[in-house]
Structure 1
Amino acid sequence: MKRSALLILTIFGLTAALPAQAASFNCAKAVAADEVAICQNPELSERDTEMAALWFAYNKVPMLMGANAARRDAATDFLKLRAACGSDTACLGRVYQARVTALRAEISLAMDALAAQQ
């Protein structure tokens, strides 16, 4: 449980230290409607940065066999949902909120499971 709390605090510290306009992709090369909308909207860009930091942490958590494929599938599903929003910022906000919530929950569960094994 201590490791889970420490990881979550570290993640929040990382997201707070990142610039507000950063995104998980290069805005100079953004051509897709969703990416352009994210780059033009400071709140969505911040949400993208938060999601990217959570994904980075989640991707470092050791998983049981088969869980890595599920982790990749969830990331692919997120990108499809995000693309389906196009330039609709309200839709993008909902998709990001759901992804951030899911990543936080998955990190917490994974860390608790890892701590239980030790």
Structure 2
Amino acid sequence: MLEFLLLLEALMPAVRLVFVSAWLIGGSLTASAQVASFDCAKAATSTEVAICREPSLGAKDIKMAAYYQILVSVEPASSGMAYREFRDNQRDLQANWVTQARNACEGDVACLELAYDRRIAELTSTIAKSLGLTYGRMCDGG
């Protein structure tokens, strides 16, 4: 029980960040809210235009961006080169996803829906693994 409480205490900053992000992603969006993670007034490609025009894609774009920010922002229990390498790798994976998966859809809504669903699943899986490894070490004394 003590280990669980210590783990819960260690996770609180990350949990707060997740809840705030979920609140921002969830029902708090209004008509004047941002409809994508980028400025739709500057949408230059058919992919960006499709994301801005299709509400479900805009919501997925915001959700994906929030999960990505959580992943690269959560500080590990003990930082070091391995964490910087992890964060840099995540940035590379995100940039590759944008060019090779998202932009490859060229505005095809069904393709974009699938690309976002897959990326969100990858990010949430990585977050779950990373939070467990990062904050679990505090309970293990590592």
- How many Å separate the matches in 1 of 2:41 and 2:132? 39
What residue in structure 2 maps to residue 40 of structure 1? 53
Q: Which runs of 5+ in 2 are unaligned?
A: 1-6, 77-82
Identity of aligned residues (%): 32
Report how far residue 91 of structure 1 moved.
0.4
| Ranges in structure 1 where 5+ consecutive residues have no aligned partner | none
Query: Is 1:98 aligned to residue 118 of structure 2?
Result: yes
TM-score, normalised via structure 1 length: 0.86
Aligned length: 118
Report the TM-score, using the length of structure 2 for normalisation. 0.73
The answer as to 2:136 corresponding to 1:116 is yes
The whole-number CA distance in structure 1 between the counterparts of 2:106 and 2:55 is 17
Does residue 75 in structure 1 map to residue 94 in structure 2? yes
- Give the deviation of 1:65 after TM superposition: 4.2
1:22 matched to 2:38: no
Q: Distance in 1 between matches of 2:102 and 2:135?
A: 33
1:66 positional shift: 1.7
2-structure distance, mates of 1:57, 1:35:
23
Larger Rg belongs to: 2
CA RMSD of aligned residues (A): 2.1
